[in-house]
Structure 1
Amino acid sequence: MPTKAVLLDIEGTVCSISFVHDVLFPYALTALPSYLSEHWNSPDFQPYRNAFPAEVRDDKVKLEAYVRELTELDKKEPCLKQLQGLLWRTGYTTGAIKAPIYEDVLPALQRWRAEGKKVVIYSSGSIAAQRLLFTHTTSGDLTPHLSAYHDPVTSGPKTLSSSYTHIAAAEGVVPEEWVFYSDNVREVEAATEAGMRAVVVVRPGNRELSEEERGRWGVVGGFDGL
């Protein structure tokens, strides 16, 4: 079947893993103490607090320690991802943070859009964080090229095939008409089980693939010519 939709991971696929770990995560942790002090009792902050486990949500010190622990372990907990997106908002909007998108991403987005394909994002980060990242990049605002966004809250964990089935149904394109790009082999495997064509993206700094993995999955080093 012809490809009608492209599904993209973010970290290690359209921007470097180091940007997330060396820029975004530290920024959120630096901003966290003052944000908690200023907004702890704000009605707007309550949904974020309430998303955390009961044993930490009512104690600033415990919640901050829990956030630091989850960040250090690179956990994908929805409560953490929602809070990180909130903290990054200031950094993006003030210009303190700008996402260093790989140079081949914008031409690929333009090409896919010109071909009439949907381009959809699926990341562990919250949808709010995804929108912020693609609005503030070194290649400009990329959101006009994107059709939709999905995260584990809306669509399920990225390592479950049912999540990809859900995304396909939500976007009105059967799984066989998708191609998914990710640096994570487990995600590629899950998408393949759902019926999508899936490709492993190998960028500088990404985990090295074994010979078995390279033989099993399609592998690309970027989006040039795709």
Structure 2
Amino acid sequence: MAVSTSVKVVLLDIEGTVCPISFVKDVLFPYALKALPETLKTRWNHPDFAEYRDAFPSEYSSSSDALEAHFRDLVEKDVKVSYLKSLQGYLWQEGYASGDLKAPLFPDVAPKLLEWGDKGLRVMIYSSGSVPAQKLLFKHTDASPSDLTPRISDWFDTVNAGLKTETGSYNVIASKHPAFSPKEWLFLSDNVKEVDAAIRAGMQGVVVQRPGNAPLPPGVRERLRVIETFQALDDNLTTLKD
């Protein structure tokens, strides 16, 4: 499926699109769970922790035991709420800073980010993970250079944009950059419902099917473009290669 309008903004999902799903589920989530008890023990009353603690509902923020139990329950059920995502980002900071955590990008990602930026395209991120967590990930990657944050023009999450499967969220994102019409945006995600929502908002959308991702639902390849690498996008993004 070819697209006729030149792309000016590339909007990227993270998990399953620029890095393996396994990094989030098998590395980041367990790291936060492991770090949480000591953090609660040593920083419960610390001013820089208070904003994360107090963001939890009052029935959980009243004691460290209640907060930990609720945190673990949310992670186990993969509930995407902003106060969980914010605390996870806080817990990951130390891991990234120490070098224990480093985001494993798919090999085509960093070269394309650099190439798109050099050509004047804007690259932006839209993930269910909090904006601070997004910035940590892109600041500490296994690419060279490791810090890719200078290549990212803007960051969106479920707090400042909305849920990723809702069309209105993409309207909000586009409205933040009125110099670009929605049709000049290209959204890349492994989630078919997210790509559908972006297309309904007037954006272009492509499904990214990476190693480790769940199989696509029947019929997706017949109605949407599916790529396995960013290299499948042509040089100017006005058309898509087979």
Aligned Cα RMSD in Å? 0.9
Alpha-carbon offset, residue 171 of structure 1: 2.2
**Does residue 1:221 correspond to 2:228, yes or no?**
yes
The secondary structure found in structure 1 opposite 2:215 is coil
> TM-score, normalised to structure 2's length?
0.91
**Equivalent of residue 119 in structure 1, options 86, 111, 123:** 123
**Does residue 1:193 correspond to 2:200, yes or no?**
yes
Letter in 1 for 2:203: M
Letter in 1 for 2:148: L
The secondary structure found in structure 2 opposite 1:21 is helix
Which residues of 2 match residues 32-43 of structure 1 at below 5 A? 32-43=36-47
Where does residue 146 of structure 1 map in the other structure? 152
Count of residues in Structure 1 that have an aligned counterpart in Structure 2? 226
**Does residue 1:107 correspond to 2:111, yes or no?**
yes
CA distance in structure 1 between the partners assigned to 2:76 and 2:44 by the alignment: 23
Where does residue 45 of structure 1 map in the other structure? 49
**Equivalent of residue 171 in structure 1, options 153, 173, 177:** 177
CA distance in structure 2 between the partners assigned to 1:78 and 1:209 by the alignment: 27
> TM-score, normalised to structure 1's length?
0.97
**Does residue 1:86 correspond to 2:90, yes or no?**
yes
Q: Percent identity?
A: 54
CA distance in structure 2 between the partners assigned to 1:169 and 1:26 by the alignment: 36
Alpha-carbon offset, residue 211 of structure 1: 3.1
Alpha-carbon offset, residue 210 of structure 1: 2.6
Alpha-carbon offset, residue 128 of structure 1: 0.6
Tell me the alpha carbon deviations over residues 51-96 of structure 1, each in whole angstroms, 9 at most, x when there is no partner: 1112111111111011001111111110100000000000001100
Q: Which runs of 5+ in 1 are unaligned?
A: none
Letter in 2 for 1:110: L
**Equivalent of residue 12 in structure 1, options 12, 16, 26:** 16
Q: Which runs of 5+ in 2 are unaligned?
A: 234-242
Letter in 2 for 1:192: I
Alpha-carbon offset, residue 146 of structure 1: 1.0
Alpha-carbon offset, residue 137 of structure 1: 0.5
Letter in 2 for 1:97: L
After the TM superposition, list the runs of 4 or more consecutive aligned residues in structure 1 that deviate by more than 2 angstroms. none
